Structure 1
Amino acid sequence: MTVEQTQIASKDDDQPIGSWRALCPVGDVVPEAGTRVVVDGLPPLAVFLLDGEFFVTADTCSHGEASLCDGFVEGCEIECPWHAGKFDIRTGQATAFPAVEPIQIYRPSIRDGILGVEVD
């Protein structure tokens, strides 16, 4: 599943502009699978809902250009659909060859039913 958003307004005026980016309504995330989210100004992201907890990573494999959302989730790992490299969804660390470089992870948070990430 791919969710394309250009902008979802934040109602929280206390946060500095640009530190929190809205991704999608929490109901759009498929449990135990990857949901690809494309938001202006960020690389494609993979959103995961595992055992009731949200995780957000880069969607592009660090070994090739494959979308990790097209891969297979097993436990807390995502397997790349191209070469079977694996990554820990919680930490971004590569856990199976040929993937050796980690993928970027993002800090998820929910505001008014919208899943977003903290961006430095």
Structure 2
Amino acid sequence: MQENWTDVCSVDDIEQGGVIRFDHAGKTYAVYRSADDRYYATDGLCTHERVHLADGLVMGDEIECPKHMGRFSYVTGRIKGPPVCVNLTTHPVKVEGGRVYIGCPLELDKMKVE
């Protein structure tokens, strides 16, 4: 599987220590800006009850789910607090020309040779 770099937003569209929701190709992502101006991306739905993480609370390098307060590291995707028990998938991020891009999975069509 390859990555397709997808333009998410301007760097200024996410406040320091904040998170935004980004929907693309039928999938929801959460895109974060840390207090030290680094950008990160994870799947956008909590692995516990599929609630939008962008509605949650960012604390340091963690995102807290708004439904049951489970916590994840948005840097690594690892669980930081119950009730969640499945890590988040993280996605690569790059910043170019004042724009934030995430590496969305790109499924390649398989050609059938007869």
* TM-score of the two chains, using structure 2 as the length reference: 0.82
Deviations 1:16-44 (A, max 9, x none): x96211111111112212111122x1511
Give the equivalent residue in structure 2 for 1:36.
Answer: 21
Aligned pairs for 1:21-100 (under 5 A) are 21-39=6-24, 41=25, 43-50=27-34, 51-100=36-85
RMSD of equivalent CA atoms: 1.7
Deviations 1:35-66 (A, max 9, x none): 11122x15111111101100111110000121
Say whether residues 1:106 and 2:94 are aligned partners. Answer: no
Q: Which has the higher contact order (CA 8 A, sep 6+)?
A: 2
Give the equivalent residue in structure 2 for 1:115.
Answer: 100
Structure of greater Rg: 2
Higher relative strand content:
2
User: What percent identity do the matched residue pairs reach?
Assistant: 27
Residues 119 and 62 of structure 1: CA distance in aligned 2, closer, same or farther (over 3 Å): same
Shift of 1:98: 0.6
Count of residue correspondences: 103
Structure 1 CA distance for aligned equivalents of residues 70 and 5 of structure 2: 30
Unaligned runs of 5+ in 1: 1-16
